[in-house]
Structure 1
Amino acid sequence: MTWIAACLCVLVLGMYQIIIGQTLNPDSERKVLGCNVTGEWHSELGSQLQLSAAGPEVRGVYRTAVESARGAAGPSREARVVGVISDGPQPTIAFSVLWAKGSCTTWVGQCFILPGGVQVLKTLWMLRSAAESSMDNWDNTRLGEDQFICARGVESL
């Protein structure tokens, strides 16, 4: 019986040390409780997304690293972002940009927290290029998916 009591005592003391060590150690990793999309995000292709969420609205700037044709995104390859976001720990999000030459792109997806606290936006996108006529309509819509990783953000509490 004393062997079991000694083991329980060691276990309790060990747990106590772990808990106290985490509370007293300012360098210990903070657990992210929910996605916060406000911040800078990078896609797997190198595009940059700067977002700011206020309530259900999202605004920001998108800088593309890719174009369907040279100059299609305009000279700065940058566009303003407008969108909406749901509430909750892993919110859904939809945002759009209007490119300088009249094309528009919309992303819809969700923010997830990966192991280790990394935040990721997993999205599907649709790009609509402006057609010269209804006869040219058939090839002016493209679909795909993007994954954005949070590069710098405001910590979730």
Structure 2
Amino acid sequence: MKPFTVYLFVLALGTAHIITGQVLLQDSERKVLHCNVTGEWRSELGSHLLLSAVGPEVRGVYRTAVESVRGAAGLEREAKVFGVVSNSPQPTIAFSVVWAKGSCTTWVGQCFSLPGGGQVLNMLWMLRSAAQSSVDNWGSTRLGEDRFIFTRSVDSP
């Protein structure tokens, strides 16, 4: 290597070390807020979610405020929740429900602690409606997103 190239390489390496050190210092100075998925949540459309996490397992109850077709979620518009959650300060989470009429919905996303002390679940969902035949399959899957806001702590659903 030519001396100038070596100089540039050392300069770049040193700059990267300084930048990396500053980033690590900033991250270690930040207070890590833990998001707890156990509790009661409400979506932007008014659906209610009651979750209890024990280790990596999540259980609870989901009460929907919306339906694709009236009665699709059953008379109570409520279903049991089964899922998993990671063990981290801002955990990822996935859970599913099976509706009374045979459809199922799965959510996957992450729990975030907000700077003001609140918590939010940012979730993507997929709804699979039961099709009568493979010909009807084309319109049986819907995708979307939900934002659940933590409303209160609970011991267990």
TM-score range, shorter chain: 0.7 to 0.9
Q: Distance in 2 between matches of 1:113 and 1:50?
A: 18
Which amino acid is 2:38 matched to?
T
CA distance in 2, matches of 1:136, 1:117: 46
1:6 alignment partner in structure 2: none
Q: Is the Cα contact below 8 Å between 1:36 and 1:153 reproduced in 2?
A: no
Kept in 2: contact 1:126–1:144 (CA 8 A): yes
What's 2:34 paired with? 34
| 3-state SS of 2:149 partner | strand
Name the TM-score, length of structure 2 as normaliser: 0.77
Partner deviation per Cα, 1:105-132 (whole Å, 9 max, x = no partner): 0000000011201100000000000000
- Give the partner amino acid of 1:83: G
Between 48-57 and 108-117, report the one with greater CA deviation.
Answer: 108-117
* TM-score with structure 1 setting the length: 0.77
AA of the residue aligned to 1:72 = A
Which aligned pairs between 1:6-155 and structure 2 lie closer than 5 A? 33-153=33-153
The one-character-per-residue Cα deviations of 1:69-103 (angstroms, maximum 9, x if unpaired) are: 10000000000000000001000000000000000
Identity between Structure 1 and Structure 2 (%): 79
Paired residues of 1:37 and 1:153 also in contact (CA < 8 A): no
- Alignment coverage as a number of residue pairs: 125
Would the alpha carbon gap of residues 48 and 32 (structure 1) be closer, same or farther in structure 2, given more than 3 Å must change? farther
Alignment partner of 2:124: what SS?
strand
Mark the runs of 5 or more structure 1 residues left unpaired by the alignment.
1-30
Does the 8 A contact of 2:32 with 2:89 survive in 1? no
Over residues 11-49 of structure 1, what are the superposed CA-to-partner deviations in whole Å (9 max), with x where a residue is unaligned?
A: xxxxxxxxxxxxxxxxxxxx9830111000000000000
Contact 1:63 1:78 (8 Å CA) reproduced: yes
Asked if structure 1 preserves the Cα contact closer than 8 Å seen for 2:40 and 2:51, the reply is: yes
Q: Which amino acid aligns with 1:70?
A: R
Over aligned residues, Cα RMSD in angstroms?
1.6
* Structure 1 CA distance for aligned equivalents of residues 79 and 49 of structure 2: 10
Deviation >3 Å, runs of 4+: none
User: Does structure 2 conserve the Cα–Cα contact (< 8 Å) formed by 1:123 and 1:146?
Assistant: yes
Letter of the structure 2 residue corresponding to residue 75 of structure 1: L
d(CA) in 1 for partners of 2:77, 2:125: 17
